[in-house]
């Protein structure tokens, strides 16, 4: 090849490169979104996290103008969904609806492929997961005191929860230790299958969040609430765990997350979109049905979440150490 031809090719390459670089690097961010967005939900279909995530997605679609698809990735109290999300490209097309336990508690219990303080971009926190101890409506137990008396005389009562070392599991074990009880824990991959097990009478009671719809339907009777600072106005006769003289865990949020490195322009659009979705009357009504009222627990933005997550992360590290729970690789 002649030198003149080589020079011509080099100059053409330089011209193409210069033309490409003339576009601002944020051009793709500015046109976002141009294709469907996927949200990994950390729990199975039918539970409070799943249904609230789908409601948010439905409202977000109206603003973003593209489909927002929810894919259930249950397991490990939403650590499966968080693990999948952490390695995705930070382009705004893959998000996660992740329960706080996967960020605040689980990293102290097992080796995970993500660091909750470093590997995500926080978009919003739209509610808090709260829990309750419930029995079927035909149960002979009308109060938590009656239940405790029976549990002392019949050690080994079984209970369903959304998973091992979820706040529901730990809260019931706190109750057991506080009152000298022994229970058999039966973990599931979400509240919906846990409720199915109880309704089939495969367990004696249930420890999950989002139980209010089942109470209103006459299926479930709640005996105790935990992760609550005070009694619910609609259920003033149901005590909290603290009222029994026991320690309690702080309520943990439900987060919409993106992978680390999300461009600021995309984060801003998503943050505004999901804030708008969370403030719609239809979404607030849904949260109330699950006893996750928006006004009571509130929306938190990226700055508020980042300020709160480290202190809570350290709180759970200390708590789990104090109760003798060791990380899997330390056992």
For residue 324, the model assigns a pLDDT of: 76
Question: Which residue spans of the chain are classified as CATH 3.40.190.10?
Answer: 131-244
For residue 287, the model assigns a pLDDT of: 82
Give the dihedral sign, CA 114/82/48/263: positive
How would residue 301 be classed by pLDDT, with cut points 50, 70 and 90?
confident
- Token pair of 205 as six digits: 């009671």
For residue 308, the model assigns a pLDDT of: 86
Half-sphere exposure of 316 (CA within 13 A, CB side): 25
Identify the CATH number of the domain defined by range 131-244. 3.40.190.10
For residue 295, the model assigns a pLDDT of: 56
Higher pLDDT, 216 or 21: 216
Sheet holding 120-129, edge to edge: 68-72, 37-41, 94-99, 252-259, 120-129
pLDDT digits (tens, 9 = 90+) for 218-267: 999 999 999 888 888 778 999 999 999 999 988 788 999 999 999 999 99
Yes or no: say if 299 and 55 are a contact pair by the CB < 8 Å rule: no
Question: Which residue spans of the chain are classified as CATH 3.40.190.150?
Answer: 35-130+251-330
Give the class (CATH, top level) of 35-130+251-330.
alpha beta
Least confident of 195-204, 213-222, 318-327: 318-327
- Pick the closest to residue 57 from 73, 70, 42 (CA basis): 70
pLDDT digits (tens, 9 = 90+) for 142-186: 999 999 999 999 999 999 998 888 889 999 999 999 999 999 999
The mean per-residue pLDDT over the stretch 89-108 comes to 94
């Amino acid at each position: 090849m002649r030198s003149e031809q080589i020079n011509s090719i080099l100059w053409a390459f330089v011209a193409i490169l210069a033309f490409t670089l003339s576009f601002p690097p944020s051009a793709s961010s500015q046109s976002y979104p141009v294709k469907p967005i996927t949200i990994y939900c950390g729990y199975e279909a039918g539970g409070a996290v799943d249904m609230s995530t789908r409601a948010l997605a439905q409202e977000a679609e109206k603003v973003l103008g593209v489909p927002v698809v929810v894919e259930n990735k249950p397991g490990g109290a939403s650590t499966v969904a968080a693990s999948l999300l952490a390695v995705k490209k930070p382009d705004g097309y893959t998000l996660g609806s992740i329960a706080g336990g996967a960020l605040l508690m689980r990293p102290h219990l097992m080796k995970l492929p993500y660091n909750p303080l470093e590997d995500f971009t926080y978009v919003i926190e739209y509610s808090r997961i709260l829990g309750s101890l419930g029995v079927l409506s035909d149960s002979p137990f009308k109060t938590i005191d009656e239940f405790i008396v029976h549990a002392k005389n019949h050690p080994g009562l079984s209970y369903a929860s959304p998973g091992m070392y979820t706040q529901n599991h730990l809260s019931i074990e706190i109750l057991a230790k506080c009152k000298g009880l022994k229970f058999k824990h039966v973990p599931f991959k979400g509240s919906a299958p846990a409720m199915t097990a109880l309704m089939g009478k495969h367990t004696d009671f249930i420890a999950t969040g989002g139980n209010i719809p089942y109470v209103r339907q006459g299926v479930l009777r709640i005996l105790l609430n935990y992760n609550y600072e005070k009694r619910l106005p609609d259920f003033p006769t149901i005590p909290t765990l603290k009222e029994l003289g026991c320690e309690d865990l702080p309520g943990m949020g439900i987060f919409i997350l993106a992978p680390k490195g999300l461009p600021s322009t995309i984060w801003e659009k998503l943050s505004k979109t999901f804030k708008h979705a969370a403030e719609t009357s239809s979404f607030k009504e849904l949260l109330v049905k699950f006893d996750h009222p928006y006004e009571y627990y509130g929306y938190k933005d990226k700055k508020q979440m980042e300020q709160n997550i480290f202190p809570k992360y350290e709180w759970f590290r200390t708590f789990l150490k104090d109760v003798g729970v060791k990380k899997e690789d330390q056992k």
